[in-house]
Structure 1
Amino acid sequence: MSQCIALLGGSFDPVHHGHVALAALFAELLQPDQLRILPARPWQKSSLQASDAQRVAMLELAFSRQPFEVTIDLQEIERGSATYTVETLRGLRAELGDAASVVFLMGADQLQKLDTWRDWQELFALANLGVAARPGYALDQDKLPPAVASALAGRLTSPAEVRAAAFGKVCLAHTLAVDISATQVRNALGAGKDTGTDIGALLPPQVLDYIQQHNLYKS
C-alpha cells in the first residue's frame, strides 16, 4: 500500500487546543504514515504577531507530548513570501510521487471559504481533503458556497477510502467538539485577567508558558 501523508497548515499564531484536537482526530481516523504541520505565511492574513521562529517553537511544544508523531515542515516559511496552499501541494506531489495519498486537513470554517483560495479547484487534483466540523460551522451541502458544494459532490467518502486514494476524495469528520480560534486566543491573552476567559482551557500549558515567558500577544 502506498504511504499516506496528512498535512495540517495554518498560521498557528498561536497554536491552540483546536489545532491539536484536529490533528489528533485525523491521526486516529486516517492512521497516516506521517503527519506534517506546515506553518505558513498566509496571503489572506496581513500580519502575524509572533515571529516565524516563535510560531515554530510553539508548535514543537504543543505537539511534543502527543501520542502521535508529527513533523514540523518549514517549507512555506523558508519560501520567504506569502504562501498559497496550491503551490505547496504541487511541490509535495512532486516530492512524494503520484501514488502517495496526500490528505490536506482543515476545519469547516476554511471549507466554507475554500472558493476564495487561489486555484482552489486544482486542490482536488493534488490531494484529498479531511474536514472537521466545528460548533457553529455546518458541513451540510446547503450551508456551503454553491461552487464548493458542487466540487464536493461525488467526492465524499470514508476515511479509509481517502487513505487509499492518492487525491480527489473528501472525508468529513463530525466529532470535533473544540471551538477555538487564534483570534479568540489572542484577544484573551491581550485582555489578561480582565476577559473572564480561562486561557488555560484554550492552549496547551507548555505553549502558554512560552507565550508568557516571551511576553507575546500583549495589547
Structure 2
Amino acid sequence: MVSCVALLGGSYDPVHAGHVALAALFADLLQPDQLRIVPAGDPWQKAPLQADAADRVAMLALAFEAARLPIVIDRQEIERHGPSYTIDTLKNVRATLGPGASLVFLMGADQLMQLDSWRDWHALFDYAHLGVAARPGYSLAAASLPPAVAAEITVRQGSLEQLRTTPSGRIYLAETLAVDISATQIRAALRDDDQASLAACSLIPPVVLDYIQQHHLYKN
C-alpha cells in the first residue's frame, strides 16, 4: 500500500541535475514510498516547449533510472488537452490514491515566489502538502515572499513527520539544497559548439546528454 508519495512536476525541457537533486533531497528527508514525476503538457506560464513529449519522457526515464525508490512517470498532463494546471493534477492523483495517502508536491524556492499566481493555489493544500527547497538567489524568509504566500506558510509550516503521516495541508521548507541550474542556460549551451558552453552540459546527467546528442535535440 502506498502511504506517502512525492510528486515532482516540471517542463523537463530538458531534465537536469537540479531536478534530480531536488528529488533526492526529499527522498532522503521524507522516505516516500514512491516518486511520481509529472512532465508538463502545455505549461501556461512558460514559453512553448522545444522537445516533444516522447523525448522528455525518455530523458526522465534515463535521469531517474538509478533512483533508490520506485519511480512513476505520470503522463496525465501530457495526455490532457489544454494548459497544465497543478490543481487538476493533484485532484487526479488524490482520486487515484485515495483520501488517506500523504501527497507531497515538491518545488524550488523560485516557484514558491510565484505560487500566488497559480490557478486555485489555495486549494492545493486540500489535496497535498508542499515540500519546498532553497535555491541560490531566492530567500525562503517570509519577508521575501508574496504576503499571501507568507501568510500560508505561517499557519501551515509542518514537520517531516506531519507530512509523512497526514494527507495534505502542510508546508516544509528545506534550506539544505544549494543547486542553481537553469534549463534555459542549458538549452543555450547545447545550441553552442564552443567548449566553454559545452562545459555547462555537465549539469545534465550523462545518460541524458547522450540521448540529447544522439537525437539532435536543442540545436535550433
Which TM-score band applies after superposition, normalised by the shorter structure?
Answer: over 0.9
Question: CA 1:69–1:176 in 2, change beyond 3 Å: closer, same or farther?
Answer: same
C-alpha separation in 1, matches of 2:80 and 2:25: 29
* Secondary structure, aligned partner of 1:153: helix
How do 1:42-121 residues align onto structure 2 when only pairs under 5 Å count? 42-121=43-122
RMSD: 1.5
* Secondary structure, aligned partner of 1:103: strand
Instruction: Show CA shifts across 1:155-184 (max 9, x none).
Output: 112212111121110111111121101111
* Secondary structure, aligned partner of 1:48: coil
Query: Which residue identity lines up with residue 125 of structure 2 in the other structure?
Result: F
The answer to whether structure 1 residue 7 and structure 2 residue 10 are counterparts is no
C-alpha separation in 1, matches of 2:76 and 2:157: 29
The answer to whether structure 1 residue 27 and structure 2 residue 27 are counterparts is yes
> Runs of at least 4 residues of structure 1 off by over 2 A?
66-69, 194-197
Query: How far 1:195 moved relative to its partner?
Result: 4.4
C-alpha separation in 2, matches of 1:196 and 1:122: 42
TM-score of the pair, normalised by structure 2: 0.95
8 A Cα contact 2:15 2:204, kept in partner: yes
1:16 equivalent in structure 2? 16
Query: How far 1:204 moved relative to its partner?
Result: 0.2
C-alpha separation in 2, matches of 1:82 and 1:211: 26
Query: How far 1:3 moved relative to its partner?
Result: 0.3
TM-score of the pair, normalised by structure 1: 0.95
Q: For structure 2, list consecutive stretches of 5 or more residues without a partner in the other structure.
A: none
Q: How many residues align?
A: 219
The answer to whether structure 1 residue 124 and structure 2 residue 122 are counterparts is no
Query: Which residue identity lines up with residue 205 of structure 2 in the other structure?
Result: P
Instruction: Show CA shifts across 1:62-102 (max 9, x none).
Output: 00122333111111111133210001111111222211111
C-alpha separation in 1, matches of 2:194 and 2:2: 50
C-alpha separation in 2, matches of 1:197 and 1:168: 42
C-alpha separation in 1, matches of 2:198 and 2:149: 35
The answer to whether structure 1 residue 135 and structure 2 residue 132 are counterparts is no
Q: For structure 1, list consecutive stretches of 5 or more residues without a partner in the other structure.
A: none
8 A Cα contact 1:24 1:68, kept in partner: no
C-alpha separation in 2, matches of 1:200 and 1:151: 37
2:153 equivalent in structure 1? 152
Query: How far 1:199 moved relative to its partner?
Result: 2.8
C-alpha separation in 2, matches of 1:209 and 1:183: 19
How do 1:172-187 residues align onto structure 2 when only pairs under 5 Å count? 172-187=173-188
C-alpha separation in 2, matches of 1:29 and 1:75: 27
Query: How far 1:151 moved relative to its partner?
Result: 1.5
1:168 equivalent in structure 2? 169
Query: Which residue identity lines up with residue 202 of structure 2 in the other structure?
Result: A
Identity value in percent: 61
* Secondary structure, aligned partner of 2:38: strand
